[in-house]
Amino acid sequence: MSIEATIFQTLQGLASRRVYQDLAPQDVTALPRITYQQVGGQAVNFMDPTTPSLKNARFQINVWGATRLQAAALSRLVEDALRSEDALMTTVLAAPVAVYEPETQLYGTMQDFSFWYA
């Protein structure tokens, strides 16, 4: 299973399957929802031509809700779910950053995670 599929599977129950790669479709208005995207990772290199058995990816997970409390509560659930998924070998890189989108009047959080996976 791909890293993206594992993240989706881990988070889908937290927002009624409203979990999207990169951006939510414009016609999706139901809340709360979660978006995620890869924003880098650590390259693994060896001096010989050995292929690494694990890869690393850094993902930003964004949570969106109608209120600050809804977004903050969902953000805590996301962190707990990702930490407990053995296949992701999760490292939390930073605490959530609160955001507000004036155009959509949505409250959110952004948080970065590092995942090691096969």
Q: What is the pLDDT of residues 15-28, one digit of tens each?
A: 999 999 999 998 98
DSSP states of 28-95 as a string? Answer: ---SSEEEEEEEE------SSSPPPS-EEEEEEEEEEESSHHHHHHHHHHHHHHHHH-GGG-EEE-S-
Structural domain for 73, as ranges: 3-117
Sequence letter at residue 55: K
The alpha carbon dihedral of 25, 23, 100, 10 has a sign of: positive
| CATH code of the domain in which 27 resides | 3.30.2000.30
Find out whether 14 and 76 touch, Cβ atoms under 8 Å: no
Query: How confident is residue 47, by pLDDT bands cut at 50, 70 and 90?
Result: confident
Report the distance separating Cα 54 and Cα 101, nearest Å. 37
Domain count for the chain: 1
Q: What is the pLDDT of residues 59-99, one digit of tens each?
A: 999 999 999 999 999 999 999 999 999 999 999 999 999 99
